[in-house]
Structure formats: C-alpha cells, structure tokens
Amino acid sequence: GIATHRKSAFPLLHYFMSLDSASTPVLDEASFVVIEDQESDEDTSEFEVIGDAADSDSSDEEEDQQSNKFQGIRPTWVPDASVTQCTRCELPFTFFRRRHHCRFCGRIFCNKCCHVQASYPVWFGYDSPQRVCEECIPQLFDCRQQSDVPESASISIVRCTSSPQISRDGFQTSGEEVLSFPLRFLHPLCRFAFWFSGMYEGGSFNRTFLNTAANMNLPFIGDPVKSIIRTMVPVPKQWPSYGDDSWETYSVSNIEEPEMSEIPVFIFTPLTTSTRPLPVLIWFHGGGFCLGSAENMVYQTICRSLAHRTHCIVVSVEYRLAPEFKFPTQVEDAFAALKWVHEKALAFGGDPERLAVGGDSAGGSLSAVVSILARERKFPVPLRHQLLVYPCITNPLTDDLDSHVKYIEGPVLSRTVCDWFMRQVFDDIEEGLKHPFASPLHLESHHDLPPATIINAKHDPLCDHGKLYAQKLRKDGVPATRSVYRKSLHGFFGSGIGESTEALVEASSALRNAFSLPNADIFDEESFVNVPVEVISLAEDVIDEENATNALSL
C-alpha cells in the first residue's frame, strides 16, 4: 500500500519493517503501542509518529484528546492558514464550502472533494471511519488490501478493540461486530414483507407488494447520469435444462429453431464530454433469483453511483425470475446479456474490449458464473473484472460454514428464506445445488478467471462464501481482494445506510483500476456548467417503458 502526500510516495509497510528493533515501545492510554526514538534510512519527513493534527474546527482541548486517542503513523497536515482554496477543484472556501483535511495525504479540500468517509488500515491508528479525498481513494483501498505482513515484522501500533484491522482473509472495517443502529430495523421489516408476499411454506407467493414498495423510481435518487435507456435483448423463450452430469451449455445459436422472447436491459450513461467509447459494467441485481428488478430504487441508486464514480456505462439486466423460470434460465439470460453488450456496445457508446461483470447477492453469484462461462465458451475478449457483492457461491442450507450457523436466523437472510429461494429455483433442490454453475466454489479449476473484488457483510450467513471463494481464486493464481463490512448485513450495499457509501466507493475504485481509468477521468460536475440544459436534463429522466424517445433501436 502506498500513501501519498504532494505527489510523493511513502511505503508504510516497509517503514514499519525498517524500524530499529531496539526501540522502546510505550503503551499509551488508548492501548496503542508507539515506537520511540525510531531510526530509519527512509525519509519520514512526510509522516509523523503521533497524530497531532485534529479537524479544522476542533478546539485545543479536542486536539489534545484526539492526539492521546489516535496514535499512529500519519501524514503531516497542511496548515489551515496556508490554504484558501480547495486543492482539487480550486474553489475558494466559504461558510458553506467548508475545508477538511484528507486523513490519507494531509492536504486540505472542500466538503465536496473530501466527503467520503472510510475505514483506514491499522497503522493510521483511527478507530472509526475518516475522511479521504477523491484523489486518495484508490491508494487508500489498495493500501487496505495489503495483508501479506511478515509475522516477524515489528508493527508500531496495536489496534484498539474497534480499530479497522487487516487479516489474511481480507480487510475488516472494524474490530467490532455491532450492527449499525439503522440497519437493525431492516430485519423485522423484511420478515413482515416476506411473510406478506407469501414467501413461506403454505403461502401464495406474489411479488407485487415488494415490487410496488421498491419501484418508486424517484428521479432525484442517486448520482447524476446523462441518460437511462431501456432496450430489449433477444433470448429463447425457454432455455434447455443442463444434463445430469453434462457440462454442455447452450446459446441461441445452437438451439434448433428456438421460440424467441426478450428481456429488458437498462443502460446508464455517465455525464461526460468525451467522445471515446466508455468501458461497460454489466450489472445483475440480487433477490435470491426470485425477487428484485433493475427498476428498483436501490438498484437504480447503485447503477447511477457506479456509472458516475467509475466513469463507465452500466448495463443493468432484468433477467427472468423463479419460480416462473427455473434454473438455468437466470444463468443463460445473464450470459446472453453479456454477449449482446459485446456485440452492440459501440452503438450506445461502449467499448467492447473493456467489459466487467458485477452484482449483489444472487447477482454476485451470476457474475461469478458468467465469468466462468466466458472462459468455458471462449468469449471473444477477456473480462476485465468481476465485482462480487456478498455472493452465494455454495449451498447455503448446510451447517458446514461458521456464518451459516451463526446467522441461521438472519438478520434479513435466514435459513428459512434461503431454503424458500432454493426451492423456487430448482425442481430438485438437492441435485440442483450440485451443479457447478449453482455452486461455483466447487469448480475443479478457477484458473484464467478475471480478477475479483469481493465485498461481504459480517452479519450475513453468506459471509464465509466470500472468504472461501477468495482463497480458491488466489490459489489458482487469480487476483482477488476481499473486504468485510463488520457493521453491516445482507442487503446493505446501495441502501445509503451505515457503511453502504464506503462499499460503493470501494467497488467503483476497483472497477476504475480494472478499466485503467486514471483519477483525471473522473467526471467533474464543474466542467458541465456550459453544457446545454437538454443534455443534463436527461440525467433526471425516469425510466419509462412506454417512452419511445428514451429507447434505443439496435
């Protein structure tokens, strides 16, 4: 991990390992161990051993308290008096445009350019999420994934109970496992919604209630985008079932005279003045293969945010759901959408050579399987990345994993709900879950798959799925990073609650790296002041199935 300050770099881990072993550790009041009289060949002028800088509007007493509480290796802060404008956007500070220090580089930014709060690696010494500027976001998330610390290394800080930590199984955003307070209300609400929709044995299932609650489609929700376009992808009306012991998979081209149907996709195009083709993320929504929709407010928020922050086109796929359509319909619909995007990308401003897949929950599972299918079916271009947000990678109905047992009653995703989902998806649940496309964790080989970013919630029975899949990918030489949001539950991604924003920023940072997009390519709204109003107004259009002017003819 590299921490930067004024375009200079400082390798923190190397700094720790270079500390004089004879230094005397002193235990302070906050249970941090700080090295005294350190000696190093490295130039440490950019960093201080104690965190003596407090927020700009903190009192001297608060500064002393923070200095005692937060001990660690941190960048030297730029003095408030030396800066009158934001380092990034260069706009002057005012009463409403407040100044904030980036805790990663120490420079001063406005509240717009430094509004993201994220958990820092252990050596910074913070025990809660801190501000990070837009310029340092990629370095911070890269730094968080440095888990190969030698056991013999002399680390100068021992974390507090609640401090972010690094483990061999991925970055843990906190030492605590206390669920964020607002998220505690989701469990009873979801239980009522599931019961009301008939999602339990003996009930008559009707997803209308859930769709009505989720499909508010408020135009002001989420980050601004240039346009949201609805179009259709051709698919067979019925995909053939896989053989009992066959790896044979199908496509439109090798089904004899298929009766055709269509599935909708929604194309989110970011605000941009560039005429170059943009990379494309194909997004699959969650919902246990039975619920959810690309039109849901949560998924509109996710797609808007990823398009805006990553500066890529997001194609959200409305694959067909169970129980009306059984496995492998969801898998084949997803792969058909990927093929369609590759063939038609140039028509909607996308780059067919830079494609990635992503999704949450069931959508994360589809992303993992589609990545495997792309390898098996010799997809024309290698996928750049797979973004897996709390995916289901193996049978969720066993007691084989600790998270299955610990969170058997939820919150939100209980064993009962998982069992109901699986019974809708498979005609024979026991045999269906044995198929490698239903349980990609047990695939014989994971070689030659795209790099992966795995995001897990701690309070989730699927938490250990991400852990095991990351281990499998790394074992077969596939780069894989994993973060565990320890104050979150299944479904937090895109909710706007607790650690949701931090997770979205991590996802967009990973995609931006995968697409080789530098920070300079991130959209700056200030550059759009003189853009014609009719172009910007498209960003606020609501997706309208009947609106022919907002449809794309391909």
Q: How many CB atoms lie within 10 A of CB 391?
A: 30
Query: Choosing from 223, 333, 360, 460, which is the catalytic residue?
Result: 460
CA distance 148 to 157: 17
The CA-atom distances, in angstroms, between 467 and each of 232, 457, 464 are: 36, 11, 5
| Active-site residue, 446 included | no
Q: Give the count of alpha carbons within 13 A of 27, CB side only.
A: 3
Query: Choosing from 156, 371, 490, 508, which is the catalytic residue?
Result: 490
CA distance 289 to 509: 27
Q: Two tokens at 351?
A: 């780059």
Q: Two tokens at 66?
A: 């923070």
The CA-atom distances, in angstroms, between 46 and each of 42, 76, 106, 131, 141 are: 11, 6, 9, 19, 20
Provide DSSP, 385-426.
Answer: EEEEES---S-TTSSSSHHHHHTTT-SSS-HHHHHHHHHHH-
CA distance 540 to 523: 17
For residue 274, with 0-12 CB atoms within 10 Å meaning exposed, 13-18 middle and 19 or more buried, which class applies?
exposed
Please give the DSSP secondary-structure letter assigned to residue 367: H
Helix crossing, 362-376 with 329-344: angle to 10°?
A: 60
| Active-site residue, 490 included | yes
CA distance 546 to 554: 17
| Active-site residue, 100 included | no
Name which of 19, 21, 26 is nearest 40 in CA terms. Answer: 19
CA distance 190 to 306: 26
Q: Two tokens at 411?
A: 């919150």
| Helix/strand/coil for 169 | coil
| Helix/strand/coil for 331 | helix
Query: Choosing from 119, 361, 495, 509, which is the catalytic residue?
Result: 361
Name which of 165, 102, 100, 171 is nearest 141 in CA terms. Answer: 171
Helix crossing, 500-514 with 297-310: angle to 10°?
A: 50
Q: Which amino acid is at 344?
A: K
Provide DSSP, 423-454.
Answer: HHH-SSHHHHTTSTTT-GGG-S--TTPPPEEE
CA distance 249 to 242: 7
CA distance 137 to 221: 23
List residues with catalytic annotation.
361, 460, 490
